[in-house]
Amino acid sequence: MSASIIKGSEIAEQIREELRTEIAALKEKGITPGLAVVLVGEDPASQSYVRMKGKACEDLGLFSQTIIRPADTSEDELLSLIDSLNADPRIHGILVQLPLPKHIDENKVILRIDPDKDVDGFHPINVGKMLIGEPGFLPCTPHGIQEMLVRSGNDPEGKHVVVVGRSNIVGKPVAAILVQKKKGANATVTLAHSRTKDLASITRMGDILVAAIGSPELIKADMVKEGAVVIDVGSNRIEDPSAKKGYRWVGDVDFENVKEKASAITPVPGGVGPMTIVMLMKNTVLSASRSAGVTPGQGRAAASKRPRPPVLASNVPRAVWSMSMKTFKHTIP
């Protein structure tokens, strides 16, 4: 019997409906959540992602500002732009589209974003909060994966989750999120990667298997436990002369064969992808709620009882953060 299909597009719509209620409540208080997206250069894939984010903001009625700079923009110019967005009260979330041109240090850019506006969840303050289970901003794709599991009836609590891929964008954070002593987590997590010996013997242990290694159809049916839940984060373009455009998109999982063995599986496209953007919207609304002293996740105004952390990035010498970020890279191994 074929696996049930976990459709990220449908779950994302559920979350959008919830956000509309929260956004309406904020607007009644005169607050419109605002997102600034910065694109440097003319990378076609990045341009497409930026357009989708702008469309998502428009759909929900968020204030959206897309700032496009030429590829030869200097690092200092970009950092100055971020400073101005940090100070702009209309902006609750800042996202700098990666990758950046090679002459710009991505680490410096991430560090420059106010952690309270870091809706990508990449600043080391938010990464640290995620690891110790304190409230901050969770990175969009890993948080989206958690939402997919819970909302599809595949709660990870008590399950063995095997994550394949150790990137700072997906692999490490999804492992950190699912291992927390919290609702929607409490999993036993194994993190495998490109240097793991006998990878198949590890992946077959997973009640839930998250594939995020960036290798087309790497995960075959014989690598999957019978009845496992499979989350495919991969998005790989492969040549296909029979396709209308001469290519097609596939995940990191051999979907057609694995779906006959798994109990549930995400498709590519239409699986994890839609979740990433809606979780970005969710983080932006969360930031607006926090800035207004409104309890996040509720459609009514209420004072937040959780005190703000006493130490912000602006209070910490940049040299210290630079040292902590020496190994912070945005690559999939």
Catalytic residue of the set 116, 120, 207, 252: 120
- Which of 197, 198, 238 is closest to 222 using CA atoms? 198
Residues linked to residue 96 through DSSP beta bridges, in sequence order: 38
Q: Is 181 in the active site?
A: no
Identify which of 190, 192, 227, 230 has the alpha carbon closest to the alpha carbon of residue 208: 230
Among this protein's residues, is 97 annotated catalytic? yes
Contacts of 61 (CB under 8 A, 6+ apart): 20, 23, 27, 32
Bridge partners (DSSP) listed for residue 265: 5, 230
**How many CA atoms are closer than 13 Å to the CA of 319, on its beta-carbon side?**
0
Q: Kindly state the DSSP code that residue 96 receives in the 8-state scheme.
A: E
Q: Whose structure tokens read 């976990």?
A: 6
Pairing mode, if any, of strands 236-239 and 247-250? antiparallel
Catalytic residue check, 102: no
Between CA 196 and CA 204, with CA 202 as vertex, the angle to 5 degrees is 145
**β-strand 264-265 against 4-5: which pairing, if any?**
parallel
Q: Is residue 221 a contact partner of residue 261, using CB atoms and an 8 Å limit?
A: yes
Helix axes 273-291, 44-60, angle to 10 degrees: 50
Using CA atoms, how far residue 130 sits from 183, 227, 286, in Å, is 14, 30, 15
- Residue tagged active-site, from 97, 116, 172, 282: 97
Residue 33, by phi and psi: left (phi above 0), alpha (psi -120 to 50) or beta? Answer: beta
Identity at 55, one-letter amino acid code: K
Question: Cα–chain-centroid distance for residue 200?
Answer: 26
Is-contact 25 299, C-beta < 8 A?
yes
Structure tokens that stand for 120 in this block: 């990508």
Q: Which residues are catalytic?
A: 53, 97, 120
